[in-house]
Amino acid sequence: MTMRSLTAPDTETLVTGVPAAKKRRHLRRAAESYGFLAPTLILLFVLMIVPIVMVISYSFQDRAIMGSSTDLVGFDNYVAILTDPGFWKATGNTLIFTVTSVAAHLVLGLTFAMLLNSPLISAVPRAIFRAIYVLPWLFTAAVIAVLWRMLLAPNGIINFLLDSNIEWLASPQLALGTVTFINIWAGYPFFMVSLLAGLQGIPQDLNEAARVDGASSVQRFWNVTIPQLRPIIISLLLLDLIWTSQQFALIWMTTGGGPIDVTEVLSTYTYKLAFANYDFAQAATSAVLVLLMSMVLAVFYVRHQKARD
Amino acid sequence: MSISTKSRTRSDAALIAGPRPRPGTRAKKRTRLARAGVIIGLLLGAVFAAAPVLWMLSSSFKSNREIFELPPRLITESFSFDAYAAILTNPETVRFFINSYVVAGAVTILTLLVAIQAAYAFSRFEFRGKRVLNVVIVSVQAVPPITLLIPYFGLMVGFGLYNTYAGLILTYMVFTLPYAIIMMTGYLNTLPRELDEAVRMDGAGSFTALWRVLVPIAVPGIVSVGIYTFMIAWNEYLFALTLTRTTDMRTVPIGIQLLMGQHSYEWNQIMAMSILGSIPVLILFLVLQRYFISGLTAGSVKS
């Protein structure tokens, strides 16, 4: 990460005794660095540490935020949430929505990246197609939601093209698949852009050597391209799992978790507990459980990044 | 995907140009087939990516009656900018844009001020707890927004920041700052240390070395971090929905939703507002695409 600066002695010399002037300079350097970090540390404390402590404490209270007197109730809220079928339904939906989206993001992103990286097309069409493929990424979830609500309306263009009259977002059988599809459309460019950068970083001679050895293009894909992209792919998968499992806006603005609870995910389930039922204690409990799940993924991500550095 | 042609003698020029088949009809035919396959794939992908966006654009120029007319047409005889005019002359929707610019602009400036200083410490200093803080900053990005939403609601109501710009601006810092610090540190690491060391040797303080010497050189990096920050703040939905209450404090994403709830679905206006609400991000991205993508992949794929 960083080189030791010329002026700062390492800790060993500190322990073994150093001239006072040098020691003073070292202390000043340390003080300075904390000065530069102070705004960040204060913000992280106020915006991250305090809220996490708060949400955990809410989850052990009886009437968080709303009540004038709050009693500690131990793990009652956790028992209530973990025995609520709605919570498990939302967990299952989150899992289906996330795993399907992430897998499709990878397949589509890699396919488009390979097409754009093909030596058979020249630079100008490549630039044009890349700009077109990035488009869905540049719209915010609210815009994507209203756009697809229009496209998927019973009398909308998609039903016209299919010569059908399907209520895509209101059908109990199709709603979850439909919001997942919309999320796939919205999310693949992040993979595509990152994988394209990765593909362009693969040394040409690796492919060439494989070709000379008589490997077919399929063999080269599995034995050269994929192993070379592996670290990037793992990073992207972990990041996307974290983000997609936390998706709220897209689902909230297309189905609101409905019909009934068909597209309810953990974020919409938690939101409704707080801002529809005003049961902040139970909402906080659900939020803590969601935090724990995310932290598991975060640990894998941090460890993977460390291994790559 | 290219199809291999198993030719064993290839010049360097051929390497750069990609696989070139041996003169021979079969190999030629295969390459032509492969190219046709790639082009068909690219065109299918382009339809998938761009057709919905094209339809959004086309609908914003139609009269509301024509949007669900059958058979659908891309351009109709009543082509007009009426929907845009309706959005831009309505004080309520204009206010959404003003709010979004104020919030996203303030978040960008504050994030840059804080992130540049933190990145300087990470890039140029050794201090206790550096590794731990680095892990914390990376992990913060994985904390679910929904987890923070409930205590933030309590905090904002408690401190009188509910339904204010300040409340939203402060909230968005938690999402923009970690990434901005990581990106900015990466950028400062690419600048030679001698630059600021030299100034400090002349007796200037670190603060001067940073703001007088390093920051002017780091402008490209600062711009790309600024764009990223602006985009996050401009697009945020969940906290804007929950931490504001009155229509005059709503931002563009919530405004789009309110537009859907009003009237009997003025689809052309909803699409016009969506286009207008996406223009800042589209412009920022297109102008600095190359720069932004390299910064983004550096930040997200390698911390």
pLDDT tens digit sequence for A93-139:
999 999 999 999 999 999 999 999 988 888 888 989 999 999 999 99
Instruction: Give pTM, 2 decimals.
Output: 0.88
In degrees and rounded to multiples of 5, residue A151 shows phi and psi of -65, -35
pLDDT of residue A12: 43
| CB-CB under 8 Å, A4 with B2 | no
Per-residue pLDDT for A5 more than 50?
Answer: no
Angstrom distances, CA of residue A205 to CA of A123, A209, A211, B18, B182: 21, 6, 9, 12, 33
Q: Residue A254: what pLDDT?
A: 95
Element (H, E) at B301: helix B289-301
Residue A61: phi, psi to the nearest 5? -100, 170
CB-CB neighbors (< 8 A) of A295 in chain B:
139, 142
Overall average pLDDT of the B212-219 stretch: 90
Average pLDDT, chain A: 89
Which residue has better confidence, A107 or B206? A107
> Is A65 in the B-facing interface, judged by CB distances under 8 Å?
yes
Indicate if the pLDDT at residue B52 is higher than 90: yes
User: For position A64, what pLDDT does the model report?
Assistant: 66
Per-residue HEC secondary structure of chain A comes to CCCCCCCCCCHHHHHCCCCHHHHHHHHHHHHHHHHHHHHHHHHHHHHHHHHHHHHHHHCCECCCCCCCCCCECCCHHHHHHHCCHHHHHHHHHHHHHHHHHHHHHHHHHHHHHHHHCCCCCCHHHHHHHHHHHHHHHHCCHHHHHHHHHHHCCCCCHHHHHCCCCCCCCCCCCCHHHHHHHHHHHHHHHHHHHHHHHHHHCCCHHHHHHHHHCCCCHHHHHHHHHHHHHHHHHHHHHHHHHHHHHCCCHHHHHHCCCCCCCCCCCHHHHHHHHHHCCCCHHHHHHHHHHHHHHHHHHHHHHHHHHHHHC
| Contact call for residues B49 and A136 (beta carbons, < 8 A) | yes
The predicted structure's pLDDT at residue B10: 41
Which ranges constitute the DSSP H helices of B218-266?
219-235, 238-243, 252-261
Evaluate if residue B254 carries a pLDDT over 60. yes
Tell me which DSSP letter residue B22 carries.
P
Cβ(A249)–Cβ(B126) below 8 Å: no
Task: Please check the confidence at residue A36 and state whether its pLDDT lies above 90.
Answer: yes
Give the nearest partner residue to A284 out of B133, B150, B170, using CB atoms: B150
**For B147, which of A112, A211, A290 is closest by C-beta distance?**
A290
pLDDT score, position B1: 40
Is the pLDDT at A235 greater than 50? The verdict is yes
pLDDT at A17: 53
Query: According to the model, what pLDDT value does residue A21 have?
Result: 74
User: Hey, which residues 17-46 in chain B have their CB within 8 Å of chain A?
Assistant: 17-19, 31, 34-35, 38-39, 41-42, 45-46
Nearby residues of B145 by Cβ (< 8 Å), 6 or more positions away: A246, A248, A267, B175, B238, B239
* pLDDT tens track for A222-234: 999 999 999 999 9
Share of chain B above pLDDT 70, in %: 86
**Least reliable range by pLDDT among A67-71, A138-142, A248-252, B109-113:** A67-71
Better-scored residue on pLDDT, A72 or B161: B161
List, as ranges, residues 125-184 from B with C-beta within 8 Å of A.
125-128, 133-155, 157, 170-171, 173-174, 177, 181
**pLDDT tens per residue across span B70-83:** 788 888 778 899 99
Q: In chain B, what residues touch A303 (CB-CB under 8 Å)? A: none
B24 to chain A, minimum CA–CA distance in Å?
18
pLDDT at A151 over 70: yes
Nearest CA in chain B to A268: B146
- Whether A1 and chain B come into contact, CB under 8 Å, resolves to yes
pLDDT value at B296 more than 60: no
Q: In chain A, which residues have their Cβ closer than 8 Å to the Cβ of B152?
A: 51
User: Tens of pLDDT along B16-35?
Assistant: 444 554 556 777 788 888 88
